[in-house]
Amino acid sequence: MKKVLFISCLGMAALFMLPGICYGQKSEQEIDRNVKELLSKMTLEEKVGQMTQVTIQAVSAVRGTAEQAHRLDPAKLEEAIVKYHVGSILNVYDVAHPLDYWHEVITQIQDVATQKTRLGIPIIYGIDAIHGANYTREATLFPQSIAMAAARNPDLMKRSGEITAYEVRASGIPWNFNPVLDLARTPLWPRLFETFGEDPYLASVLGAAYIKGLEGENSDVGAPDKVAACMKHYLGYGFPMSGKDRTPAWIPERMLRDIFLPPFKKAVEAGIHTVMVNSGEINGIPAHSDYHILTEILRRELGFKGLVVSDWEDINRIYSRDKVAPTRKEAVRIAVMAGVDMSMVPYDFSFYEDLLALAKAGEVPLSRIDEAVGRILWVKFRLNLFENPYPDKKMKEKVGSEEFAAVSLQAAREALTLLKNEGNYLPLAKNKKVLVTGPAANLRSVLNSGWTYTWQGNEESLYPKNKKTILEAIQAKIGAERVAYVPGSTFDEALDIAQAVEAAKNADVAIICIGENAYCETPGNIHDLSLPKAQLDLAAAIQQSGTPAVLVLVEGRPRIITPVADDSKAILMAYLPGPEGGLAIADVLFGDYNPGGKLPFTYPRHPNDLVCYDYKPLETDDPNKMNPLYFFGHGLSYSAFEYRNLEITPRAAKDGEPIQVKVTVKNTGERAGKEIVELYLSDLYRSVSPPVRQLKRFSGALLQPGESKTVEFTLNRDDLAFHGRDDKYVVEPGEFKVAVGNLSAMFEIVETAGKASR
């Protein structure tokens, strides 16, 4: 009989107060009692072990590659769990596993944890399922988050979360290190594609929808098809001054609270169970050592009650890289006392050894360790791991199903953003003779990029051959005999540009697929936002041939294309659309789908003109005038939409009184289309200079030709509030402007109560 500690799946009302109930309808009071009971039975060594997380590499015998199967090392695994009492394992080493092998791995791990340890506490396994269960070979993958943000569809975002949760849990894994709630405020940053764009409201709405998909509407993560989500990277990670990954950020407190904190606040309100800490530093303080953000803001202000896990090796880096701690042991003390509950060590047991010594010396109080371990056990109970830590093999049949793939295809279609369409050049007739060229034309990896089968996503051989490249999708759409293909260049070097130009002369249109090769995190750092010269030269040469050119941009961040933008007949922003992206791009180019995506970031015109859409009045006039290539929210359609009858009620309101906004949108075009109706708010005068506008609401309206729809929004107090000169959250009296489409109207706040609620 397996030695499993069968403790009911419960909740901790007194300690944690998150919404919802645990799978199996157990009470929160019961989890409270069971956690306390289990803590009372644990030795100090067992508690410190629960706070220790190692990568699967630390317990492996053979590394996995495209040619070689991974294998665990039973002796190393037993050492980690039995000797060091490790509470969590993560990651792959180094390629995605087939579903059946995941079942073997998780079963081996849980067998050791439940049969060979004194208390039988199960392991919580964590994985970065960033755009689907990307480390399970058979799983459904989706567009990366930046593309999902262009779709502006919370229901679709939630559905992608539901599918991801199902397939991650079907793999036997209960914990997903996602969503990324950092904001894309600097386009150089290589993790931009993991975000929901540059706007805090957009990221808040989509992040919360995704969390509900992963965790369930009632935060019921113990359900067999749900997982614990992890909001990351708390806080301010996505705004490094250099634009390079894991480099310093300088963020004033007001900006931190008004711009970077809201998506995390919304995630806490959505019931999220875990958080991962920013790998970098803010204002000279490494985030893993920052008591202010990890305890004072996260715990006391936001009311987060779950588990805080470090990022990769980052507690040690307080000492080795950041030079804030004089020793590794002191780095451990600082991080734990700042508020980190679990250390992603990840290769060894140094955290365990250091924390154990600190606890025995009284430098980290037992009360702090009990607090951290209580949070870890609470998440494990909520996940139902004590009752069933093993994979459910019956879930296998739906993994990678056609039903799930159809959702991914729809997401890719909705994400595609038509940036330019001179003279309504698109859609193309299917009898055209077409040249397809460019380095992104015939690769599957570039449609997905990082976090796909491998960390960097650049192992082309791992991608399923039944998922079409852009070239293959176009060939299937109009017939291979109508399509010529010349690569033209790699991402960085010219190949056969002259041959591509000759082929263009024999074609009716050249579809030039340019952008970025697969990358992720620090290896994706760049020194210049401009698209590499080889690709710009390819596009320019074809444009000079006289053949109409259509640019398809396959990229995780907005690379500068200004030298070739004017001479392009059309420009389609594909982002990183996922495995169904080739089909979606062909559908849009040839008119089988009407594009409706909107830019989730500002597309810069020049390498050094990097300003977000919510810029300040100082930047409205020459010589500082904001002049991007395309604004945040830009996106064309094959239809035309007309806005009318913008109404605001009341026009004069008291502080706290809801503001109702109503507008009618009509499809005046000749084909059905989806218009994303966006409401922007401007506070005209206030004590801290206001942004020129801020996105506050959006809603998609699918309209047939000639059809009208009235869209209604309600603005509340938080939409009007900001942090004032004293960093207090306030609403100030005065005039506000609402803009929807090409319409605008005013309302006034005539009386305020001062400090707003949080």
Same domain, 531 and 669: no
Same domain, 692 and 589: no
Span 133-143, mean pLDDT? 98
Kind of pairing between the strands at 417-421 and 570-573: antiparallel
pTM: 0.95
Give 414-460 pLDDT, tens digit per residue.
Answer: 999 999 999 999 999 999 999 999 999 999 999 999 999 999 999 99
Evaluate whether residue 47 is within a structural domain. Answer: yes
Same domain, 437 and 567: yes
> What is the predicted pLDDT for the residue at 21?
34
**Final residue of a structural domain among 352, 370, 398:** 398
Kind of pairing between the strands at 549-554 and 570-573: parallel
Structure tokens at 449: 């990029």
Please report which confidence band the pLDDT of residue 684 belongs to, taking 50, 70 and 90 as the band edges. Answer: very high
Rounded Cα gap, residues 449 and 456, in angstroms? 7
Please tell me the total count of domains within the chain. 3
**Final residue of a structural domain among 345, 368, 398:** 398
Q: Is the pLDDT of residue 4 over 50?
A: no
With CA atoms as reference, report the closest residue to 549 among 604, 508, 492, 592.
Answer: 508
> What is the predicted pLDDT for the residue at 27?
78
Evaluate whether residue 1 is within a structural domain. Answer: no
> What is the predicted pLDDT for the residue at 755?
57
Evaluate whether residue 628 is within a structural domain. Answer: no
Instruction: Output b/e per residue, 700-711; b: 16+ Cβ within 10 A.
Output: bbebeeeebeeb
Q: Is the pLDDT of residue 1 over 90?
A: no
Asked if 311 is an active-site residue, the reply is: yes
Evaluate whether residue 630 is within a structural domain. Answer: no
Same domain, 468 and 392: no
Q: Is the pLDDT of residue 758 over 60?
A: no
**Final residue of a structural domain among 371, 398, 425:** 398
Same domain, 208 and 286: yes
Enclosing domain of residue 742: 641-751
Q: Is the pLDDT of residue 705 over 80?
A: yes
Same domain, 280 and 358: yes
Evaluate whether residue 623 is within a structural domain. Answer: no
Give 246-301 pLDDT, tens digit per residue.
Answer: 999 999 999 999 999 999 999 999 999 999 999 999 999 999 999 999 999 999 99
CATH number of the domain that 474 lies in?
3.40.50.1700
* Prior bond of 650 cis (ω within 30°): yes
Give 148-198 pLDDT, tens digit per residue.
Answer: 999 999 999 999 999 999 999 999 999 999 999 999 999 999 999 999 999
Q: Which H or E run includes 654?
A: strand 652-654
Cβ–Cβ under 8 Å, residues 230 and 177 = yes
Q: Is the pLDDT of residue 374 over 50?
A: yes
**How many other C-beta atoms lie within 10 A of the C-beta of residue 460?**
13
Cβ–Cβ under 8 Å, residues 260 and 239 = yes
With CA atoms as reference, report the closest residue to 516 among 443, 427, 581.
Answer: 443
Give 713-748 pLDDT, tens digit per residue.
Answer: 999 999 999 999 999 999 999 999 999 999 999 999
Considering 182, 311, 341, 655, which one is annotated as catalytic?
Answer: 311
Contacts of 583 (CB under 8 A, 6+ apart): 409, 412, 468, 473
**How many other C-beta atoms lie within 10 A of the C-beta of residue 91?**
21
Same domain, 380 and 421: no
State residue 180 phi and psi, 5-degree precision: -85, 115
Q: Is the pLDDT of residue 604 over 60?
A: yes
720: left (phi over 0), alpha (psi -120 to 50) or beta: alpha
Helix boundaries (H) for 340-469: 350-360, 366-382, 402-415, 445-448
Contacts of 14 (CB under 8 A, 6+ apart): 28, 29, 32
Give 51-98 pLDDT, tens digit per residue.
Answer: 999 999 999 999 999 999 999 999 999 999 999 999 999 999 999 999
CATH number of the domain that 739 lies in?
2.60.40.10
Structure tokens at 475: 């060939």
> What is the predicted pLDDT for the residue at 24?
54
Same domain, 198 and 224: yes
Please report which confidence band the pLDDT of residue 370 belongs to, taking 50, 70 and 90 as the band edges. Answer: very high
Give 10-21 pLDDT, tens digit per residue.
Answer: 333 333 333 333
Same domain, 596 and 503: yes
Evaluate whether residue 11 is within a structural domain. Answer: no
Cβ–Cβ under 8 Å, residues 551 and 406 = no
Same domain, 393 and 424: no
> What is the predicted pLDDT for the residue at 754?
56
Cβ–Cβ under 8 Å, residues 215 and 273 = yes
> What is the predicted pLDDT for the residue at 752?
74
**If you average pLDDT over every residue of the chain, what do you get?**
95
Give 310-343 pLDDT, tens digit per residue.
Answer: 999 999 999 999 999 999 999 999 999 999 999 9
Rounded Cα gap, residues 307 and 221, in angstroms? 14
Evaluate whether residue 405 is within a structural domain. Answer: no
Span 488-492, mean pLDDT? 98
Evaluate whether residue 225 is within a structural domain. Answer: yes
Same domain, 394 and 420: no
Q: In what order do the strands lie in the sheet with 673-683?
A: 652-654, 743-751, 734-740, 673-683, 694-703
Span 491-510, mean pLDDT? 98
Span 518-536, mean pLDDT? 98
Same domain, 470 and 366: no
Span 562-568, mean pLDDT? 98
